[in-house]
Homo-oligomer: A and B are copies of this chain.
Amino acid sequence: MKAVCLMSGGMDSTTLAYVAKDMGYEILALHMNYGQRTQHKELACARRAAQTLDAVDFVEISLDYFTKFGMSSLTDMDIAVEEGTLGRADRPNTYVPFRNANLISIATSYCESRDGDAVFIGVQSGDHIGYPDCTPEFIAAMQNVIKIGTQTEKEIKLLTPFVSMNKTDILREGLRLGVPYEDTWSCYDTEDTACGVCSSCLSRMKAFADLGIEDPIPYANR
């Protein structure tokens, strides 16, 4: 069994690849940058995790076309990343329109090309507000599209084991599986030391605090 794992280099998708491996899948690692601020750091983290997991393949692709559409602070360098709130804004300016449909479609093309069995993506409960392309309803609709729109006789499964979990649950699971969190990156804004104020940093910091564990990566505000 082979599964495409979307590996962003963040703590969720890295943990997810460890879960896929633990379920018995060989890993087809797929890393995508989309012109975001922290792309080099994220690539380095994803590559290291894929090596540790003995991934059978590592494909890196550039989706810099998102920069041509604008609108998100992640990809438009003229818009500052807003400071996060743990409750999340209704319309976070880090929203990249319909991003997960793009990511899942690409992963499915890759999966079908390599005769794979499943696609894993690390959406989670904390993303549901403000990101309609992270909800269980969206994932079910994408699974339906995959079933109808692929040629392969095996049905490619779209697996989201974290969809009802929060970041603290994910971290707990990752610690059980021995995920090296020093080799993951979550900050939306900076690459050397994490900013500690964007929404992604805030939720990561909260997960470690919830479990009373020290986060091994450096933060600017410490």
Contact = CB atoms under 8 A, between A and B. Distances in A.
A145 B141 contact: yes
Nearest to A75: B113
A120 interface: no
B66 A109 contact: yes
A137 interface: yes
A98 B112 CA distance: 8
Given A61-B65, A68-B59, A69-B110, A138 B133 contact: no
Nearest to A103: B105
Given A113-B71, A138-B145, A141-B141, A132 B150 contact: yes
Interface string A15-58: 00000000000000000000000000000000000000000000
A149 B131 CA distance: 8
Chain A interface, DSSP helix/strand/loop, else mixed? helix
A85 to B, nearest CB: 18
B108 A101 contact: yes
A151 interface: yes
Please state the number of chain copies in the assembly.
2
Given A59-B68, A65-B61, A112 B137 contact: no
A98 B151 CA distance: 8
A99 B138 CA distance: 19
A51 to B, nearest CB: 19
A148 interface: yes
A142 interface: yes
Contacts of A113: 69-71, 97
A109 B99 contact: yes
A203 interface: no
A149 B98 contact: yes
A112 B97 contact: yes
Interface of A: 59, 61-63, 65-66, 68-71, 91, 95-102, 105-106, 108-110, 112-114, 132-133, 135, 137-138, 141-142, 144-146, 148-151
